[in-house]
Amino acid sequence: MKILVTGNLGYIGSVLTDILLEKNLDFIGYDIGFFKKCNLFRTKDNFKQIIKDLRDVETKDLSKSDYVVHLGALSNDPLGEFDSKITNEINYRATMKLANIAKNSGVKRFVYISSQSMYGISNTENELDEYNSNKNPITEYAKTKWKSEMELNKLNSKNFTVVTFRPSTVYGVSPRLRCDIVFNNLVASAYTTKKIEVKSDGSPWRPVVHVRDVCLAILAGLQAPTELVAGKTFNIGIANGNYTIKDLAEVVQKVIPNSKIVFTEEHLRDSRTYKVSFKKILTELKDYYKPEWNLEKGALELLNFFKEIKFNESQFRGIYTNRLSCLSNLILNKTINNQLRFI
């Protein structure tokens, strides 16, 4: 099979491409390259790469692809709020353009990476499932992901399988590490400052999952029989994978015991809080998705990685590990314009 992977030069995509190379799977990368230079260590590049805006995708870009893994997006809530119009153009309109071209080009399977942020604010007494739970997207990023899901499902057919995955908040080592996502942020803060800075009161709930387990789910989406995945949506996570922010901070303190938990409460009580059910993926795809990571193992991995590369506070707070800062810097330096087009 030939796979087109959009967003392959991002945080998750960089890990996924390494795994695809390890498994000798044939793929082509497709990425605009905003974060191409954000790698903290040398990455493998022995594969074909298309450097191109998702908004400009053409039939020729998919002419030799059997499967598409669509990771490309302005990813996460703060980045999505950069400009709501552009977020809609990239995350929704370009997604639908890509999917329609894929279907018309004979692509067999379209694996869409969505988000659990669409659950927004919810009653945390119950775990949210894929279909019956209310969707309450409160950010432009979440809204575009939910809208894309609904439209993509309409394209599912006998000859064009659409499968959607909603990852929990991701953590773990990547060549293009992000420190603007919660668990990575807490570990990086502890390592570089000896303070675990919790910006809320610690009470909001978050499901979290390791980046390599997300990649295992994507592989399951590529390899599982059509009847198991066609037209279906799966939350990506692990058993008992929901934690309060305070829980996450306490795991970090256990791994880095000379650090101190500090509640800055600069965001006061974070309004986004939700618990998610992973029963569907852990049962229906149990033969294909076998998560391997837990929080403590992931924190130790990050700690050892930081020691190896001599990670410091400047890097933790800098443009290479914080995506909104990176984009803003590209605009400031007139590398890209306000429409996020290269100049």
State pLDDT tens for residues 174-199: 999 999 999 999 999 999 999 999 98
Answer positive or negative: Cα dihedral of 145, 148, 154, 160: negative
Please give the mean pLDDT across all residues of the chain. 94
Confidence check: pLDDT of 268 > 70 = no
Burial class (CB in 10 A: 0-12, 13-18, 19+), 146: buried
Mean pLDDT of 288-301: 98
Q: How far is it, in rounded angstroms, from Cα 30 to Cα 220?
A: 21
Mean pLDDT of 61-89: 88
User: Is-contact 273 207, C-beta < 8 A?
Assistant: no
Mean pLDDT of 233-240: 97
Mean pLDDT of 289-316: 98
Chain mean position to CA 204: 20
Q: How far is it, in rounded angstroms, from Cα 43 to Cα 175?
A: 7
Confidence check: pLDDT of 77 > 80 = no
Highest mean pLDDT out of 1-15, 35-49, 125-139:
1-15
Q: What is the pLDDT of residue 103?
A: 98
Task: Please name which of 164, 113, 114, 163 lies closest in space to residue 137, comparing C-alpha atoms.
Answer: 114
Q: What is the pLDDT of residue 80?
A: 64
Confidence check: pLDDT of 7 > 80 = yes
Task: Please name which of 189, 184, 176, 180 lies closest in space to residue 312, comparing C-alpha atoms.
Answer: 189
Concatenated DSSP letters of 187-219: HHHHHHHSEEEESS-S--EEEEEEHHHHHHHHH
Percent of the chain clearing pLDDT 90 (strictly above): 85
Burial class (CB in 10 A: 0-12, 13-18, 19+), 332: exposed
Q: What is the pLDDT of residue 270?
A: 53
Q: Which domains does the chain have, with CATH numbers?
A: 2-332 (3.40.50.720)
> What's this model's pTM, rounded to 2 decimal places?
0.96
- Model confidence at 1, pLDDT cuts 50, 70, 90, reads confident
Mean pLDDT of 23-46: 94
The string over 110-131, giving b where at least 16 C-beta atoms fall within 10 Å of a residue's C-beta and e elsewhere, is bbbbbbbbbbbebeeeebbebe
User: Is-contact 273 121, C-beta < 8 A?
Assistant: yes
- Model confidence at 125, pLDDT cuts 50, 70, 90, reads confident
Confidence check: pLDDT of 165 > 60 = yes
Mean pLDDT of 89-100: 97
Confidence check: pLDDT of 271 > 70 = no
∠ Cα 91 97 103 (to 5°):
125
Q: State the amino acid at position 212 in one-letter form.
A: R
Q: What is the pLDDT of residue 45?
A: 86
User: Is-contact 172 293, C-beta < 8 A?
Assistant: yes
Maximum pairwise Cα distance, the chain: 57
User: Is-contact 142 87, C-beta < 8 A?
Assistant: no
200 versus 81: which is more confidently predicted?
A: 200
Q: What is the pLDDT of residue 267?
A: 63
Confidence check: pLDDT of 121 > 90 = no
Q: What is the pLDDT of residue 115?
A: 95
